[in-house]
Amino acid sequence: MAKKAAPKKPATQKKTAMAKSATEPGIKYVKKDAPGRGEVEILAETYDNGLPSGEDAGRWRQKLESREDKLKYLQNGERYWYSDDWFGSEKRKTPA
Amino acid sequence: MAEDEKKNKSIDKATQELYEKACADEISTSYSRADSLKPCPIGSVGSCCKNCGMGPCRIPLPKGKEETPEEKKKRRGICGATAETIAARNFIRMIAGGAAAHSDHGRGVAELFVAVAKGEAPGYKIRDEQKLLALALEWGIDIGDRSNEEIALEIGEMSLAEFGKQEGEILFAKRAPLKRQEIWREQGVMPRGIDREIVEIMHRTHIGVDQEYQNLLTQGVRASIADGWGGSMIATELQDILFGTPSPVLSEVNLGILKEDEVNIIIHGHEPLLSEMIVAASRDPEMIDLAKSKGAKGINLGGICCTANEILMRHGVPLAGTFLQQELALVTGAVDAMVVDVQCIMESLPDIAQCYHTQVITTSPKAKIKGAMHIEFNEHDAVNGAKAVVKAAIEAFPNRGKNVRIPQDTHNLIAGFSHETINYLLGGLFRASYRPLNENIINGRIRGVAGVVGCNNARWEHNQAHIAMVKELIKNDVLVIQTGCSAMASAMAGLMVPEAASKYAGKGLAEVCETVGIPPVLHMGSCVDNSRILIAATAMVKDGGLGDDISDLPAAGAAPEWMSEKAISIGQYFVASGVYTVFGVTWPTQGSKEVTEYLFKDMEEKYGGMWDFEPDPIQAAHKMIAHIDEKRKALGIDKARERVLYDMEMRRELEG
């Protein structure tokens, strides 16, 4: 019978991954108090330094390409106005 | 110049610096004119009627004492109109003026929209198909396999019909919460058509027509709804379809955005139809080469007033300044052309421009100014019109003198918070939702929401009231949404960047802002874009947990430095939509206690929202917070409740 491989220790694996990440430029960690665990090291803010440039940086509507996607988004994201299945809280008391 | 004198004019350093230069250059500005021209004490409280040739009839309240019943009886115009009738007439004529301005803007956009759909407006195209489809769904227009242009033509024609409609209800009223629609129907203020309600005000306020102040004010409400849920909303929606729905964009604000070595073009006014093309023309390599041939390094665009907000929201074009900074922009000596369209444009601009080298260019057939160059906007040839404007600026650049002073003050801001973008930011692409906002209002991290909007007023220290009020609100965990010059003021104070949350906001609001990645003060656009605030408020209602109507929301509105008739129309449609709305500086019905009482108290019984007047911005903010707290109490969310995780035994007990 083949000897079963010993499972990797998650703690060690985590520590290794963390140590690797900590050396990456731009990745920051901060120490915070956690309830019952004392001081722990957690990932700090992950945003890029600097300022976003160009008027396209914040555009999100272009993610929806086809007309079908756009209609689906309206029926989901703007469901209270454009979906037959969602009525919003107000219609519970006053049926349409 | 004494420091105090400068500081009395503005809290903004760039403005102080240029006011000092204006005085040194012996330039008359709105600041100096406000010093020498005091407001008429009778007209400013609504006690002067000049609606016929027998007047003007001035019927002021007695000074320094209570009016006796006998004195009150005598306080009438020649036609017999009482102080109440006169104050109400004046008030609703302001609404008519404001609603007409916004709505005529909307009509202009609708006309361009139809031209684009017909392929008769080269250079323009439909940029936001999704919003086009949304309107088609809303108005029952067949989508199928039809082209965007076919759908747009139908939407454009239906939009134009809204202005001249005689019967029924305006189409966008159906967007309002159901309860709100019922209130409008019950109170008889559901608008039939946009123009009709404005015309009816002019008829009713003619000598010898409507002489019951409550009835006059009811028509004011109806016309204001036709503005906010009609003309303004048409302007916003169709502009979004044509030019794109705003998304978050980084930009800069204040007069320091002007560049010493580039051709500076300021776009000023309210309608973005031509300015969209000027943005494109200023990026045209042919135009940039022409600028370079004249010794400039490039072409720099900046904006003033709401045209600025429009092109900021969609393109990130920097904001040069607010209404009260338009003259000072010319005083820098660095503006090569100021291109104006309509509304809030000072007639003094060409006179000031003569002292420097600036070319003031009018573009609307509705708004010409003596002494300005006129290059008329024509939607059928907008590209060439825009190029002609940019060329005029480039030609002026070599004439720039040595008397140039560009202040160093600028601030970053993030703009572009349309309703659609807020919905997306809060919920994501696959489950866009206002739920996180509502949840955080319910759990008390966010105390409520306040819309702070409106103008600058030369009778008040520039930007002081806006900034004091907004800082007080966010300090107390109230999320602030803004439009117009008020939004620019907050941007100048550094309140429209995400990092402002940790610096100025209360702990709860800061937590939410940091989690979502938004500033505590959101720029929602121009003054017609106050319609975005109405939609955001409606979205909060529909998402649930905060009542069934806008009047149930822990929300308030304010215009602390208002001056235009448009602000009165905006305030009235917010009141009519159920929002407690506080104005600062001055109040135009103080000449009649009954009319003021009706606006400040009786309107709440009818519409759930009411007016208030408080010139002190901190006191006004406290009144707004008190109102928000009242609404929280009514919703039962005024006290923090301990969260209990139910185990099976507790659940069984509950079911039993």
Exposure string of B244-254, with b = 16+ CB inside 10 Å and e = fewer, is bbbbbbbbbbb
CB B240 within 8 A of CB B159: no
Cα–Cα distance measured from residue B623 to residue B469, given in angstroms and rounded to the nearest whole number: 11
Chain B: closest CA distance from residue A30 (Å): 16
Same domain, B295 and B381: yes
Same domain, B101 and B189: yes
> Which helix (H) or strand (E) element contains residue B116?
helix B83-117
Termini Cα distance of chain A: 70
What pLDDT sits at residue A1? Answer: 41
Tell me, yes or no, if A68 comes closer than 8 A to chain B by beta carbon: no
SS3 B522: strand
CB B470 within 8 A of CB B452: yes
CB B155 within 8 A of CB B139: yes
Tell me, yes or no, if B252 comes closer than 8 A to chain A by beta carbon: no
DSSP B188-221: T---S-HHHHHHHHHHHTSTTS---HHHHHHHHH
Q: Express the helix, strand and coil content of chain A in percent, nearest 5 each.
A: 40, 10, 50
Query: pLDDT tens for residues B455-490?
Result: 999 999 999 999 999 999 999 999 999 999 999 999
Only one residue has tokens 């002007």, namely: B258
Chain B CA closest to residue A87: B542
Q: Which residues of A touch B539 (CB under 8 A)?
A: 80
- How many Å separate Cα B158 from the centre of its chain? 25
Phi and psi at B278, nearest 5°, equal: -65, -35
Cα–Cα distance measured from residue B343 to residue B604, given in angstroms and rounded to the nearest whole number: 31
Which 280-319 residues of chain B touch chain A by CB within 8 A?
314-316
Whole-angstrom CA distances from B489 to B83, B321, B520 are 36, 8, 14
CB B420 within 8 A of CB B319: no
- What is the DSSP pairing of strand B411-415 with strand B359-362? unpaired
Q: Express the helix, strand and coil content of chain B in percent, nearest 5 each.
A: 55, 10, 35
Termini Cα distance of chain B: 80
B133 Cβ contact list (under 8 Å, min separation 6):
A67, A70, A71, A74, B143, B151
Amino acid at A79: R
* Helices and strands, counts by H and E, chain B: 29, 16
Query: pLDDT tens for residues A40-87?
Result: 998 887 777 777 777 777 888 888 889 999 999 999 999 888 887 766
Cα–Cα distance measured from residue B440 to residue B447, given in angstroms and rounded to the nearest whole number: 8
Whole-angstrom CA distances from B229 to B113, B232, B234, B303, B535 are 19, 7, 8, 27, 9
Cα–Cα distance measured from residue A75 to residue A71, given in angstroms and rounded to the nearest whole number: 6
**Average of pLDDT values for B532-540?**
97
What pLDDT sits at residue A87? Answer: 63
Cα–Cα distance measured from residue B583 to residue B585, given in angstroms and rounded to the nearest whole number: 7
Query: pLDDT tens for residues B322-353?
Result: 999 999 999 999 999 999 999 999 999 999 99
DSSP A14-57: HHHHHHHHHHSTT--EEEEEETTTEEEEEE---PPSS---STTT
The CATH number linked to B272 is 3.40.50.2030
Exposure string of A23-46, with b = 16+ CB inside 10 Å and e = fewer, is eeeeeeeeeeeeeeeeeeeeeeee
Mutate which of B127, B129, B417, B515 to test chain A, going by most A C-beta atoms within 10 A? B129
The answer to the question of residue B518 being in a domain is yes
- Give me B297's structure tokens: 């390094």
Which 10-49 residues of chain A touch chain B by CB within 8 A?
47
Chain B: closest CA distance from residue A8 (Å): 35
**Average of pLDDT values for B574-585?**
98
- Give me B610's structure tokens: 């009411």
Q: Which residues of B touch A63 (CB under 8 A)?
A: 429
Same domain, B238 and B291: no
What pLDDT sits at residue A55? Answer: 75
Longest alpha-carbon distance in chain B: 87
**Percentage of chain B exceeding pLDDT 70:** 98
C-beta atoms surrounding B87 within 10 Å: 31
Looking at the predicted structure, is the pLDDT value of residue B41 above 60?
yes
Cα–Cα distance measured from residue B207 to residue B605, given in angstroms and rounded to the nearest whole number: 30
Which 168-227 residues of chain B touch chain A by CB within 8 A?
175, 177-179
Cα–Cα distance measured from residue B393 to residue B266, given in angstroms and rounded to the nearest whole number: 10
**Percentage of chain B exceeding pLDDT 90:** 93
Amino acid at B353: A
Whole-angstrom CA distances from B131 to A78, B184, B363, B415, B547 are 11, 27, 29, 20, 28
- Give me B396's structure tokens: 């002026």
CB B217 within 8 A of CB B606: no
**Average of pLDDT values for B238-258?**
96
**Average of pLDDT values for B157-178?**
96
Cα–Cα distance measured from residue B487 to residue A49, given in angstroms and rounded to the nearest whole number: 26
Bond into A25 cis (ω within 30):
no
Query: pLDDT tens for residues B544-578?
Result: 899 999 999 999 999 999 999 999 999 999 999 99
CB B39 within 8 A of CB B459: yes
Indicate the pLDDT class of residue A4, thresholds 50, 70 and 90. very low
Query: pLDDT tens for residues B489-517?
Result: 999 999 999 999 999 999 999 999 999 99
What pLDDT sits at residue A27? Answer: 77
CB B155 within 8 A of CB B135: yes
The total number of structural domains in chain B stands at 4
Same domain, B265 and B386: yes
Same domain, B392 and B497: no
Question: A57 and B249: CB-CB below 8 Å?
Answer: yes
SS3 B318: coil
CB B127 within 8 A of CB B241: yes
Mutate which of B548, B550, B552 to test chain A, going by most A C-beta atoms within 10 A? B548
CB B474 within 8 A of CB B520: yes
What pLDDT sits at residue B630? Answer: 97
Cα–Cα distance measured from residue B16 to residue B415, given in angstroms and rounded to the nearest whole number: 25
Query: What is the pLDDT of chain B when averaged over all its residues?
Result: 95
Q: Where are the alpha helices (DSSP H) in B378-495?
A: 382-396, 419-427, 435-442, 464-475, 484-492
Cα–Cα distance measured from residue B472 to residue B450, given in angstroms and rounded to the nearest whole number: 11
What pLDDT sits at residue A11? Answer: 40
What pLDDT sits at residue A7? Answer: 45
What pLDDT sits at residue B221? Answer: 98
Domain ranges of chain A: 15-43, 61-93
Same domain, B237 and B176: yes
* Of the partner residues B130, B134, B433, the one whose CB lies closest to the CB of residue A64: B130
Indicate the pLDDT class of residue B655, thresholds 50, 70 and 90. low
Cα–Cα distance measured from residue A90 to residue B12, given in angstroms and rounded to the nearest whole number: 45
Query: pLDDT tens for residues B210-229?
Result: 999 999 999 999 999 999 99
Question: B423 and A78: CB-CB below 8 Å?
Answer: yes
The CATH number linked to B210 is 1.20.1270.30
Looking at the predicted structure, is the pLDDT value of residue A96 above 60?
no
Which structural domain range is residue B436 located in?
Answer: 419-635
Q: Which residues of A touch B578 (CB under 8 A)?
A: none
Query: pLDDT tens for residues B398-426?
Result: 999 999 999 999 999 999 999 999 999 99
The answer to the question of residue B456 being in a domain is yes
